[in-house]
Amino acid sequence: MSPIARLTLLFLALAVGACSSSANSMDSGLAYYDTEPSMEKATTHLSMPGMTVSEANRLPFNLGDGGWEDSVSVTAEPTAFINDFDVEAAETPPAAPATVERLLVYSGRFQVAAGDIDQALDDTKAMAKDLGGYFQSLSDHTITIRVPARRWDEALARVAGIGRILNRQIDAADVTEEVVDLKLRLRNARALGKRLEELLDLAKTVEETLKVETELNRIRTEIERIEGRLQFLSDRVAFSTLVIMFTEAATAPTRLQALPFPWLRDLGLNNLLGLPGGVR
């Protein structure tokens, strides 16, 4: 082989080596690239909204009269949610996990273009009331309402009637595991509290009494904290949160004829940051 031919082969090998090296460095695996948020998201939102009484009764624990079906009474009697939990049932491994109903907290954020924002805000308040929910807060052109979870789908459909939806983000957070864990911790804390009360009766010295009372106060605080969290989750499960940000319809974007370059549609924050809400 002539020297020039050898030199050519050497350059070729170097060029190929450089290209493959570059590609390898770019493809080096970083496991956290597509890491999901820590909050477990449900893949479907069909199990909770529109759930019938019989479906609710199949839940792994009994939420009582203040549970799923009558969300208003959940707020009125939060302890029903706490006290009626069947710990024994929760400790029994589910026979068929695929059939276990989940406790889901639904939330949605919409950006809606409306011709008359004041009218749209009034319509949204009326919609919340009509669905059995309530208006929660208003800041500038952003309104937050709570609607019963069982009427969630209906609420989403009715938003489209208020204005033109520019962007939406729907989430369903699964709190089943947290609720089960809290229930078990509550049971243990109550049992410990009861035992400490018995010990308090047996205390003979001031020092013994003080020690037991200190521990008893700690346990009571813990019980209150768990009950508060359960009450909060009960409310979140029963009522879904809907945030709607209104913009003037006149300033709402109007899409031009799409150009035949698909990558243009891939531009933007949603794709770049992995944000929900379609092309935006």
Partner 1 sequence: MKALALLLAVLALAACTATPKTDVPEGYVTLPTRGNEVLAVVAPTGNRMVVKRHTNPPEGTLEFWRDAIRNELVDGRGYELTESQGVAGSSGAPAWEMLCSVTRPEGAYLYLVTIRIDRGEVIVAEAGGQETAIRPDLPGLRKAMR
Question: 3-class DSSP state for residue 36?
Answer: coil
Residue 38 in contact with partner 1, rule: CB under 8 A: no
Q: How far is the CB of 263 from partner 1 (least distance, A)?
A: 5
One residue of 47, 57, 136, 169 binding partner 1 per CB under 8 A? 169
Scanning the structure block, which residue is given the tokens 């199949």?
A: 58
In one letter, which amino acid is 209?
Answer: T
Q: In whole angstroms, give the CA distance from residue 79 to residue 175.
A: 18
What string of H, E and C letters represents the secondary structure of 155-211? Answer: HHHHHCCCCEEEEEEEEEEECHHHHHHHHHHHHHHHHHHHHHHHHHHHCCCHHHHHH
Compute the distance between CA of residue 175 and CA of residue 264 in angstroms, rounded to an integer: 38
**Residues 243, 164: Cα–Cα separation, whole Å:** 15
Tokens of 103: 């406790």
- The region of 82-90, 155-163, 212-220, 247-255 touching partner 1 under the rule CB under 8 A is 247-255
263: contact with partner 1 by CB under 8 A: yes
Piece of the chain touching partner 1 by CB under 8 A; list 15-23, 87-95, 122-130, 199-207: 15-23
Which candidate, 111, 271, 114, 269, places its Cα nearest to that of 123?
114
Segment contacting partner 1 by CB under 8 A, of 9-17, 73-81, 95-103, 200-208 = 9-17
Stated length of the chain = 280
Is residue 250 part of the contact set for partner 1 (CB under 8 A)? no
Interface with partner 1 by CB under 8 A: which range of 14-22, 54-62, 97-105, 203-211? 14-22
Report the nearest approach of partner 1 to the CB of residue 14 (Å): 9
Residue 99 in contact with partner 1, rule: CB under 8 A: no
| 54 touches partner 1 by CB under 8 A | no
Return the number of the residue (11 or 232) whose C-beta is nearest partner 1.
11
* Short-list 78, 103, 90, 99, CA closest to 237: 103
Nearer to partner 1, 111 or 234 (CB): 111
Residue in the block written with tokens 């945030």: 243
85 binds partner 1 (CB under 8 A): no
Residues 185 and 265: their CA atoms lie apart, in Å, by 49
Q: Does 160 bind partner 1 (CB under 8 A)?
A: no
Minimum distance, C-beta of residue 155 to partner 1, in the bound complex (Å): 16
Q: Which residues here bind partner 1, judged by CB under 8 A? A: 2, 4-5, 7-8, 11-12, 15, 18-19, 22, 26-30, 33, 109-111, 142, 166-167, 169, 243, 245, 252-256, 258-259, 261, 263-265, 267-269, 272-273, 275, 277, 279-280
